[in-house]
C-alpha cells in the first residue's frame, strides 16, 4: 500500500519524521517495503486487512498506535432528489452482494484541482478528469472501488448485471479489447456489456468532458469470482487489488457519501437517489473478549483500561462489559476478525510487540517422538560420507512417462518437463554424475536419501541410492559398488544378507525381506525395509576370537550364481562365521572362484571334517568341482 | 666346560647381532636363540632339569642372566635400527600431501541437522510427514478455507489421478498432522521439501525447503515464542544478533509475528542486501490459530501454542555462497 505522508496527515496529525512513521507502521503490521522516497511510504500489504488498502485504514491504526485522534473525511449525508431513473437489475445474485448507485445531473466535467491531482499522482494514479479522479480518490482513501458511467451514452438508462456470454467483448478505458467468458460477470445496458464487473470499465460509457449526467456505483461482489476472473483475463489493477479481498457491503454507503461530497464540491450539479440493490444485509459481527485471554496469549498483565482504550481507538464499540470480559461490536471494515484471539492481536500490536517480555519455556521437555527412521537415515548419511561418497539432493519432479503405470502425474504443472514425480532416485541422481564427468571428474560416488512416489498406497517410499561411477570398467566398478554396499550393511549391523538374481535383477534379501537391488554402477536400498531387518552384528569383541580360515577353489558352471553358493556356505555350519570371495575369474563357460571360509574353530581335524562335508554338498547341490 | 660353552654362545651371538644390524632381520636372530623348538638358549634351559643339583645351582642363574642380556641387546639393536629408518633423509614431513577425503553432506541437510541438534537440546523432537498431501492437512486445518487466495490452483501442484491430493505447499501440513495425531505437550521441529507451481529461476524453484517448529502445552505464551526465536537466531547468526519483532498476518496463527534481523552488511543503514530496509526478514511465526487447534482436536481453551517457519534455501545459499538454487539441487554444486 502506497501512503503519501501529506495525504495521511489529513486524518492524523502526526509530527514524526517519515522514517519514524514508517517504523511505527512496521511495528503495527504494515512493513515498510521499499525505501522512502519523496515522503511516500510503500508498505507491504498482507491478505487479511482489506481496510489497509485505504489511507484512512492505515491512518486509523497509526493514530491508535501513536495515541492520537483520528480525523474522519467529510461525508455528504443528506438525501438526494428522487428520480435517478436508472434501472438496476442483478441477474447473478450469487456474485453480487450489493450494488449501491446514485445519479448526478448537471455536472461539469473538467480537470481536477491541483491538490487532488497531486495526491493521486503521489499514490501512482494519473489524473483523468474530476469525476474519474474522485472515484479513484475515494477508492484509495476508503478502500471501496467505484465507477461512474455517462448516462447519455447509454441506449437505455439501465444497469443489468449478468454473467458474460462466451465471446462477448469489452473495450477498456485503456483501449484494450477483452474477450469474456461465462465465469465473468458484466454490467450491461441494452444487453451490451459496459463494465467487466469488479475489474475494469469500458470505453463505451466512459465519462468525458462532454458528460453532464452520470450514474455512480459502488458495488460489493464475490471476491473469489473477481480474483479468478482477473487472473484468467490477466488484468491486475487497483480495483481488482481491493475487490479480491473481503470488503464489507456497508463500505459502499460511506464511499458513496464521500464521493457525493466531492462531486458536488468539484463538479457541481445535483444528486438524485437511485437504487441501492442490497437484498440481504451482511450482518455486523460481535465478539467477546475475556481479559484473561489477553493474559493467556501474551503472559502479560495489560490493564483493562488500556485494553479498552486500544479497542475503542480501533473503532470497536463496547456493547457490554463486566470484570471478566467485554462484549464488542466489530467495526464493519474489520472483515479479518474471526476469533477472540484476533482482538488479542489488536491489543498486543497497538501496545507494540517490543513491549512483550522474553521468557524461556518453563516446562520440562515432553516425551521424544522423533521417529526411528530419522535417526537411521542420519546414520546412513554419516557412514556413506566417511566412505568418501557425496550427498546430493535432486529435483523429484520429472517428465511424464506413459509406460510407468505407477507414476504420479501432476495436473497443472507449468512445465511439461516437470509434470510427474520420480519413481526411482536413480533417474534424478544419475545426471549428477554426468555433471561431474563433464567437469573432468570421472570417478565419483554420490548418494541421495530421498523419496520416490507412486499413485497408490503407500504413495511415498524412502530410498537410499548410491551411484559409483569410474573409468576402470564395469567389472571393477561393480565390485566397488558392492564393497560400499557391504560396508554400509555391516555398519548398520545388518547380517545374513543374500543376493539373488530374479527376473534379470539382482535383489538383496535378509531371509524373505526384500531390501533392495544392485546394479553395475549403483545400488538401491528401501530405507523403511532396512529398519525392519534383524540388526545384530556386534562389531566389538573382547580379545581376538579363536578363528582360522581355509581357502577353497571351485570351478562352477556359468549358469550358477556365486551369490547363492556363498549364501549356502554361510548357512552351512554354526562354526562357519563368514565366507568371502577372494578371487574370481572366468574362462570359456566356466567360472573359477576362490572362497575364504572363516571357522570359529582352530582344531584342524574338526575343520577338515566340516570342509569335506561342505565340498560334498556343494558338488551335489551346485555341481561344482574342486580346483587344485 | 659349561662356562666355555656360554662364552662361545656369546661370541657367536655378537657376530649374529652384527649381521642382523646390517639387514634389520631381528626376528630370525631372536628365533635362533629363543625359538620354543630349536632356540640355542631354549634348548639349554630345557636340559636344566636333567642336570645334578650342583650343576643346576651353578648353571641356572648364569643361563638366566645370559638370556636377559641377549634379549636386551636384541631390543636395543632393534631400536637403533628403527632410529636409522626414521632418520631416512628422503623423509620430509614438511611436504604437504593430498587430502584423504571423506564425502560431503548436502549443504541443506547440514543446516537442517545443525538446527535439529539445537532444538533437540531444548527438548524438541524431529518429525516428518508426507509430501503428497490432502487439502485437509495442507489448507483446511491450517485455517485456510477454500476461497482463501493462498489455496489458489495456480500456486499449488495438484495430483491428476486423485481429487484433493496435492504436493504440500509448506511444512505446516506436518504441523496439522502432528497436532491431530499427538496429544499435548508437543514440542517438534521439521525440515523438508515443499512445492509450488512456479517456474524455476535463479532464486525460485518449484521445490524448496522449509523449517518449522511447533510447541503446544498449557501456559504457552507469545513470550516463550520470542525467547525460543531469540535463542534460535543466536545459533543461526551470532550472539549479538539484533532482532525486531513485529505484528504480521499469517492465516494459520493469531496473533502473528514477523521476525527481522538487523542487516549485518550495513548495520541497519540500508543496503542492497536488505533491500534498503536495514532489516532482513528471517521468519514468520505466531500463536497457533484457535481454529487450527480446534480442527486438530486440541482444546484451545486449555492449550495454547506457537509455531514458526522459515524458508531454508536462501539461508543455505547465503551460508555456502551459492547463487543459483537450481545448482544447489541439480548436481551443480560439487564438493572438493
Q: How many Å lie between the alpha carbon of A514 and the closest alpha carbon of chain B?
A: 23
pLDDT band at A311 (very low <50, low <70, confident <90, very high): very high
pLDDT (average), residues B8-37: 88
Residue B162 has pLDDT above 70, yes or no: no
Range picked from A309-323, A435-449, B32-46 for highest mean pLDDT: A309-323
| Cα→Cα distances A264→A104, A107, B334, Å | 9, 8, 71
Q: Is the backbone peptide bond immediately before B255 cis, with ω within 30 degrees of 0?
A: yes
Residues of A in contact with B224 (CB under 8 A): 299, 359-361
Q: Do A460 and B193 touch (CB under 8 A)?
A: no
Banded pLDDT at A316 (limits 50, 70, 90): very high
C-alpha–C-alpha distance, residues B260 and B252, integer Å: 19
Q: Residues 166..225 of A with a Cβ closer than 8 Å to B: which?
A: 223-224
CA angle A31/B148/A253 to nearest 5° reads 75
CB contact under 8 A, B248 and A46: yes
Mean pLDDT of the A113-119 span: 97
Strands A87-90 and A200-201: unpaired
**Residue B221 pLDDT exceeds 90:** yes
Phi, psi of A593 (to 5 degrees): -145, 140
Which residues on chain A are in Cβ contact (under 8 Å) with B259?
none
Compare CB distances from B103 to A27, A371, A387 and report the shortest one's residue. Answer: A387
Q: Which residues of B touch A397 (CB under 8 A)?
A: 195, 206-207
Closest Cβ opposite residue A360 in set B224, B254, B331: B224
What's the whole-number average pLDDT of chain B?
90
Residues of A in Cβ contact (< 8 Å) with B103: 384-391, 445, 447
- The C-alpha cell at A218 is 459502488
Integer Cα distance of B236 and B118 in angstroms: 10
Do B249 and B263 touch, CB atoms closer than 8 A? no
- For the entire predicted model, the pTM comes to 0.88
* B308 and B171 Cβ atoms separated by less than 8 Å: no
Is-cis flag, bond preceding A537, omega within 30?
A: no
Question: Phi and psi dihedrals of B73, rounded to 5?
Answer: -65, -40
Contacts of A332 (CB under 8 A, 6+ apart): A248, A250, A251, A284
Complex ipTM, two decimals?
Answer: 0.89
Asked if the model's pLDDT at residue B3 lies above 80, the reply is no
pLDDT at B50: 86
Name which of B106, B124, B127 is nearest A392 (Cβ-Cβ).
B106
**What local confidence, expressed as pLDDT, does residue B335 receive?**
78
Give the three cell numbers for residue A212.
453532464
Span A531-573, pLDDT tens digits? 999 987 777 777 777 888 999 999 998 888 888 899 899 889 9
pLDDT band, very low/low/confident/very high, at B307 (cuts 50, 70, 90): very high
Higher pLDDT, B100 or B231: B231
- Flag whether pLDDT at A98 surpasses 90: yes
Phi first, then psi: give them for residue A620, nearest 5 degrees: -65, -45
Banded pLDDT at A416 (limits 50, 70, 90):
confident
Within a 10 A sphere around the Cβ of A604, how many other Cβ atoms? 10
B154 contacts in A (CB within 8 Å)?
231, 412
Determine the pLDDT at residue A395: 94
What is the rounded average pLDDT of the residues A98-123? 97
Give DSSP secondary structure letters for A443-458. Answer: SEEEEEEEEEE-SSSS
Question: A127-141, A212-226, A410-424, A453-467: lowest mean pLDDT where?
Answer: A410-424
pLDDT for the residue B192: 95
**Rounded mean pLDDT of chain A?**
94
Query: Residue A177: is its pLDDT beyond 70?
Result: yes
- pLDDT of B154 reads 66
- At B153, is the pLDDT very low, low, confident or very high (cuts 50, 70, 90)? low
Taking CA atoms, A403 is separated from A103, A399, A411, A611, in Å, by 66, 12, 18, 50
Establish how many alpha carbons lie within 13 A of residue A510's alpha carbon, considering only the half-sphere containing its beta carbon.
Answer: 19
Distance (Å, whole) CA B321 – CA B333: 11
pLDDT category at B64 given cuts 50, 70, 90 is confident
Tell me the pLDDT band of A115, cut-offs 50, 70 and 90: very high
Q: Is A227's Cβ below 8 Å from some Cβ in B?
A: yes
A531 contact B CB<8A: no
Specify the range with the lowest mean pLDDT, choosing from B60-74, B123-137, B182-196.
B60-74
Is residue A262 within 8 Å of residue A216, measured between CB atoms? no
| Residue among A393, A416, A448, A484 with most chain B CBs within 10 A, to mutate | A393
The answer for A 426-445 residues in CB contact with B (under 8 A) is 431-436, 439, 441, 445
A137-146, A402-411, A599-608, B142-151: segment of lowest average pLDDT = B142-151
Place of cell 656360554: B6
Distance CA B171, CA B196 (A): 12
User: Pick from A197, A199, A194, A198: which is nearest to A214 by CA?
Assistant: A194
Query: CB distance B221–A370 less than 8 Å?
Result: no
| Nearest residue to A598 (alpha-carbon basis) of A611, A589, A586 | A611
**For residue B290, what pLDDT is reported?**
97
Pair A541, A577: CB distance under 8 Å? no
Q: Is the pLDDT of residue A590 over 90?
A: no
How confident is the model at residue A210, as a pLDDT?
95
Chain B residues whose CB is inside 8 A of the A455 CB are 159, 161-162
Q: Note the pLDDT tens digit of each residue in A379-415.
A: 999 999 999 999 999 999 999 999 999 999 998 888 8
CA distance B31 to B37: 9
Given this model, what pLDDT does residue B155 score? 84
d(CA B18, CA A569): 51
pLDDT of A29 strictly over 70: yes
Query: Comparing A47 with A216, which gets the higher pLDDT?
Result: A216
DSSP 8-state secondary structure symbol assigned to residue A287? E
Which residues are within 8 A (CB) of A303 and not within 5 positions of it... i.e. 6 or more apart? none
- What proportion of chain A, given as a percentage, has pLDDT over 70? 100
Most confidently predicted of A381-390, A491-500, B10-19, B51-60: A381-390
Q: Which three cell numbers stand for residue A498?
A: 543374500
What pLDDT, on a 0 to 100 scale, did the predictor assign at position B121? 94
Cβ–Cβ of B132/A460 closer than 8 Å?
yes
pLDDT value at position B1? 61
Provide the pLDDT for residue A302.
96
pLDDT confidence of A587, banded at 50, 70, 90?
confident
| Interchain CB contact of A504 with B (< 8 Å) | no
Q: How many CB atoms lie within 10 A of CB B106?
A: 23
Any idea which of A21-30, A367-376, B273-282 has the lowest mean pLDDT?
B273-282
CA atoms of B281 and B114, how far apart (whole Å): 21
Using CA atoms, how far apart are residues B179 and A100, in angstroms rounded to an integer? Answer: 45
CA dihedral sign of residues B45, B49, B51, B52: positive
Of A119-128, A540-549, B256-265, the poorest mean pLDDT is in: A540-549
Confidence band for A54, pLDDT divided at 50, 70 and 90: very high
Does any CB of chain B come closer than 8 Å to the CB of residue A461? Answer: no
A545 to chain B, any CB pair closer than 8 A? The answer is no
Chain A and chain B share a number of CB contacts under 8 A equal to 249
Which residues in A lie closer than 8 A to residue B131 (C-beta atoms)?
A: 396, 451, 453, 460
By Cβ distance, the residue of B199, B223, B290 closest to A341 is B290
CB A62 within 8 A of CB A8: yes
Mean pLDDT of B117-140: 95
Q: What is the pLDDT of residue B313?
A: 93
Q: Which among A297, A393, A439 has the least Cβ separation from residue B287?
A: A297
Amino acid at each position: 500500500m502506497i501512503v503519501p505522508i501529506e495525504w495521511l496527515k489529513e486524518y492524523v496529525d502526526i509530527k514524526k519524521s517519515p522514517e519514524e512513521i514508517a517504523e511505527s507502521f512496521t511495528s503495527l503490521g504494515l512493513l515498510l517495503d521499499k525505501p522512502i522516497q519523496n515522503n511516500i511510504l510503500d508498505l507491504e500489504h498482507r491478505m487479511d486487512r482489506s481496510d489497509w488498502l485505504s489511507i484512512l485504514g492505515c491512518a486509523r491504526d497509526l493514530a491508535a498506535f501513536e495515541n492520537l485522534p483520528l480525523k474522519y473525511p467529510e461525508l455528504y449525508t443528506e438525501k438526494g432528489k428522487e428520480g435517478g431513473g436508472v434501472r438496476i437489475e442483478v441477474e447473478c445474485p450469487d456474485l453480487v452482494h450489493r450494488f449501491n448507485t446514485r445519479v448526478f445531473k448537471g455536472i461539469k466535467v473538467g480537470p481536477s484541482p491541483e491538490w487532488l491531482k497531486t495526491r493521486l499522482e503521489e499514490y501512482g494514479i494519473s489524473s483523468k478528469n474530476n469525476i474519474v479522479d474522485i472515484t479513484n480518490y475515494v477508492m484509495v482513501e476508503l478502500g471501496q472501488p467505484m465507477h461512474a458511467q455517462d448516462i447519455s451514452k447509454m441506449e437505455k438508462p439501465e444497469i443489468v448485471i449478468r454473467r458474460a456470454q462466451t465471446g462477448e467483448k469489452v473495450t477498456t478505458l485503456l483501449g484494450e479489447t477483452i474477450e469474456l467468458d461465462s465465469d465473468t460477470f458484466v454490467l450491461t445496458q441494452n444487453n451490451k456489456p459496459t463494465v467487466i464487473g469488479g475489474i475494469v470499465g469500458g470505453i463505451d460509457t466512459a465519462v468525458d468532458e462532454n458528460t453532464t449526467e452520470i450514474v455512480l456505483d459502488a458495488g460489493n461482489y464475490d471476491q473469489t469470482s473477481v480474483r479468478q476472473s482477473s487472473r484468467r483475463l490477466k488484468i491486475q489493477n487497483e480495483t481488482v487489488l481491493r475487490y479480491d479481498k473481503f470488503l464489507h457491503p456497508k463500505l459502499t454507503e460511506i464511499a458513496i457519501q464521500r464521493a457525493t461530497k466531492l462531486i458536488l464540491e468539484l463538479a457541481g450539479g445535483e444528486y438524485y437517489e437511485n437504487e441501492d440493490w442490497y437484498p440481504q444485509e451482511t450482518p455486523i459481527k460481535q465478539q467477546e473478549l475475556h481479559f484473561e485471554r489477553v493474559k493467556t496469549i501474551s503472559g502479560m498483565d495489560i490493564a483493562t483500561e488500556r485494553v479498552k482504550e486500544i479497542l475503542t481507538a480501533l473503532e470497536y464499540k463496547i456493547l457490554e462489559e463486566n470484570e471478566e470480559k467485554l462484549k464488542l461490536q466489530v467495526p464493519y471494515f474489520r472483515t479479518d476478525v474471526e476469533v477472540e484471539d484476533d482482538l488479542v492481536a489488536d491489543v498486543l500490536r497497538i501496545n507494540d510487540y517490543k513491549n512483550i517480555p522474553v521468557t524461556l519455556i518453563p516446562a520440562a521437555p515432553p516425551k521424544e517422538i522423533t521417529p526411528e527412521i530419522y535417526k537411521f537415515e542420519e546414520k546412513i548419511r554419516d557412514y556413506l560420507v566417511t566412505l568418501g561418497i557425496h550427498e546430493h539432493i535432486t529435483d523429484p519432479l520429472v517428465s511424464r512417462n506413459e509406460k510407468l503405470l505407477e507414476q504420479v502425474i501432476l495436473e497443472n504443472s507449468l512445465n511439461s518437463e516437470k509434470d510427474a514425480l520420480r519413481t526411482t532416485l536413480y533417474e534424478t541422481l544419475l545426471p549428477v554424475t554426468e555433471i561431474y564427468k563433464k567437469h573432468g571428474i570421472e570417478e565419483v560416488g554420490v548418494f541421495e536419501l530421498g523419496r520416490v512416489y507412486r499413485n497408490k498406497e503407500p504413495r511415498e517410499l524412502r530410498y537410499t541410492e548410491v551411484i559409483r561411477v569410474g573409468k576402470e570398467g564395469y567389472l571393477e566398478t561393480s565390485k566397488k559398488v558392492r564393497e560400499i554396499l557391504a560396508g554400509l550393511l555391516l555398519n548398520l549391523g545388518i547380517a545374513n544378507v543374500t543376493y539373488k538374481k530374479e527376473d534379470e535383477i539382482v535383489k538383496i534379501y535378509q531371509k524373505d525381506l526384500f531390501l533392495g537391488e544392485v546394479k553395475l554402477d549403483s545400488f538401491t536400498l528401501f530405507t523403511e525395509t532396512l529398519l525392519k531387518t534383524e540388526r545384530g552384528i556386534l562389531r566389538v569383541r573382547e580379545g581376538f576370537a579363536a578363528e582360522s580360515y581355509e581357502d577353497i577353489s571351485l570351478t562352477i558352471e556359468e549358469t550358477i550364481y556365486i551369490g547363492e553358493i556363498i549364501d549356502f556356505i554361510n548357512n552351512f555350519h554354526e562354526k562357519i562365521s563368514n565366507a568371502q570371495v577372494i578371487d574370481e575369474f572366468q574362462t570359456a563357460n566356466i567360472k573359477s572362484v576362490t572362497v575364504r571360509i572363516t571357522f570359529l574353530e582352530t582344531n584342524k581335524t574338526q575343520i577338515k571334517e566340516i570342509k569335506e562335508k561342505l565340498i560334498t554338498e556343494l558338488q551335489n547341490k551346485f555341481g561344482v568341482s574342486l580346483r587344485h | 666346560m659349561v662356562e666355555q660353552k656360554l662364552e662361545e654362545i656369546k661370541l657367536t651371538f655378537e657376530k649374529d647381532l652384527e649381521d642382523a644390524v646390517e639387514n634389520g632381520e631381528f626376528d630370525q636372530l631372536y628365533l635362533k636363540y629363543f625359538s620354543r623348538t630349536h632356540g640355542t638358549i631354549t634348548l639349554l634351559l630345557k636340559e636344566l632339569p636333567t642336570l645334578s643339583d650342583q650343576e643346576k645351582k651353578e648353571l641356572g642363574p648364569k643361563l638366566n642372566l645370559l638370556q636377559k642380556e641377549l634379549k636386551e641387546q636384541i631390543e636395543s639393536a632393534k631400536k637403533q635400527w628403527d632410529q636409522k629408518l626414521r632418520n631416512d633423509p628422503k623423509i620430509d614431513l614438511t611436504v604437504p600431501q593430498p587430502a584423504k577425503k571423506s564425502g560431503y553432506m548436502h549443504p541443506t541437510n547440514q543446516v537442517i541437522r545443525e538446527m535439529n541438534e539445537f532444538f533437540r537440546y531444548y527438548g524438541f523432537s524431529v518429525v516428518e510427514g508426507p509430501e503428497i498431501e490432502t487439502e485437509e492437512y495442507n489448507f483446511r486445518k491450517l485455517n485456510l478455507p477454500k476461497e482463501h487466495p493462498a489455496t489458489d490452483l495456480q500456486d499449488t501442484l495438484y495430483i491428476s489421478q486423485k481429487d484433493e491430493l496435492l504436493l504440500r505447499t509448506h511444512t505446516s501440513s506436518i504441523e496439522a498432522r502432528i497436532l491431530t495425531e499427538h496429544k499435548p505437550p508437543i514440542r517438534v521441529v521439521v525440515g523438508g521439501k515443499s512445492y509450488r507451481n512456479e517456474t524455476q529461476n535463479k532464486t525460485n524453484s518449484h521445490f524448496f525447503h522449509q523449517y518449522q517448529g511447533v510447541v503446544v502445552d498449557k501456559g504457552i505464551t507469545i513470550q516463550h515464542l520470542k525467547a525460543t526465536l531469540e535463542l534460535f537466531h543466536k545459533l543461526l547468526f551470532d550472539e549479538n544478533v539484533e532482532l525486531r519483532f513485529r505484528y504480521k498476518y499469517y492465516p494459520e496463527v493469531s496473533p502473528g509475528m514477523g521476525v527481522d534481523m538487523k542487516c549485518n552488511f550495513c548495520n541497519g543503514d540500508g543496503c542492497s542486501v536488505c533491500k534498503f530496509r536495514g532489516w532482513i526478514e528471517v521468519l514468520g511465526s505466531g500463536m497457533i490459530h484457535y481454529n487450527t487447534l480446534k480442527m486438530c482436536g486440541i482444546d484451545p481453551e486449555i492449550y495454547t501454542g506457537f509455531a514458526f517457519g522459515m524458508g531454508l534455501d536462501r539461508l543455505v545459499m547465503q551460508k555456502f555462497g551459492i547463487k543459483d538454487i537450481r545448482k544447489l539441487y541439480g548436481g551443480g554444486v560439487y564438493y572438493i
